[in-house]
Amino acid sequence: MALVCVLLLACWAQARPADPGAPAGTAAAPPADQPAVPAAPADNQPPVQTGQPTITAPPELPKYPDVQMPGETGFWIGLGLSKPTGNPIFDKGRSSGYTTSSLITMQGRPKMGESGEIGFALGAHDVLVFSGFSTRQAGNITVPVETVLQGETYNQGVLVSTNYELKDAKLSFEYLMWPYPVGSHHFRLKTLWQVQYVDTLTGFDAPLLPVTTSSGSALLNSSGQVVSYHASGSHWLITPTFGLGATEYLAKFVRLELNASAFAVPRHWTIWDTGGSLNFRFGHFELGGGVRAFHIKTSTKSSYYVRGNMFVPQVELRWYLK
């Protein structure tokens, strides 16, 4: 009987509420040495407002590998030779004031031309290039009518020697336009932003006309000056040019390049420059060959001007830092 009483008292103690004064249905408080477990929010309860805007980070953009082909890093130096063809025209401008003819074709075959360039890679496949070339030619012509050249008058039937030299210097910023990002593409399309300096030097003389007397002394004109039939002048311009350039890497070390740029001021000057080359890379060196077409017309507003087209086959050897 005593054992039965002990079991009944134990069952009564477990079923007794923790706090007789607490309302019915209230759970017993956890012991002081255990943290309270927060109640889970209801499914339809709105999130707690903190007073700060909720910012959701955008997803990361996909990353494409940027492949730089040979020559798109570091810098390079190039030297070239060309064999230009073409005979420019010399004529008087609108401010000459002469009624006598001044139209003449510069004679002779152009000599071997020289060219050079220095290029710097600017990153992101953009480059800055400074380049230049020059050519010269000389020959003789018998003028069919009385002709005034650089202020000197040559009578009809006089043999006149002509000399011509062209110098061109160009600063070009080549900006990648497509594709972007480049990734592993082999094609590049660039816009060309350039400044060009062009100087054309012309000279004339009458080598068969006498400049001394029978006794060997110098001939003097009516003003008492020594007779000379030489006349020369310089016709230059500085102009911006704009264009497009395309490069196709046919293989890792074979590159096809095409460029064209131009600018004109109506009734003043015109310039355009275009060319293409096929280039083969071996080590730090690159050998290229191609053609270039060049047109220049200096200001027709001046006393005299020069205009002409040149077709220039050329070869070039470049050395690359990388």
Residue 254's pLDDT is 96
Residue type, 317: L
Q: Which of 116, 203, 201, 197 is nearest to 166 (CA)?
A: 201
What is the distance between the alpha carbons of residues 115 and 137, in angstroms, rounded to a whole number? 16
Residue 215's pLDDT is 80
pTM of the entire structure?
Answer: 0.77
HSE-CB for 210 with a 13 A CA cutoff: 10
Percent of the chain scoring above 90 in pLDDT:
67
Least confident of 110-114, 181-185, 308-312, 315-319: 181-185
Per residue in 197-232, pLDDT tens? 999 999 999 999 998 887 878 888 777 788 899 999
Residues 41-65: what's their mean pLDDT?
65
Residues 98-122: what's their mean pLDDT?
95
Residue 46's pLDDT is 61
Q: Which of 154, 151, 140 is nearest to 106 (CA)?
A: 140
Which domains can be identified in the chain, with CATH numbers? 85-210+226-320 (2.40.128.90)
Per residue in 258-271, pLDDT tens? 999 999 999 899 99
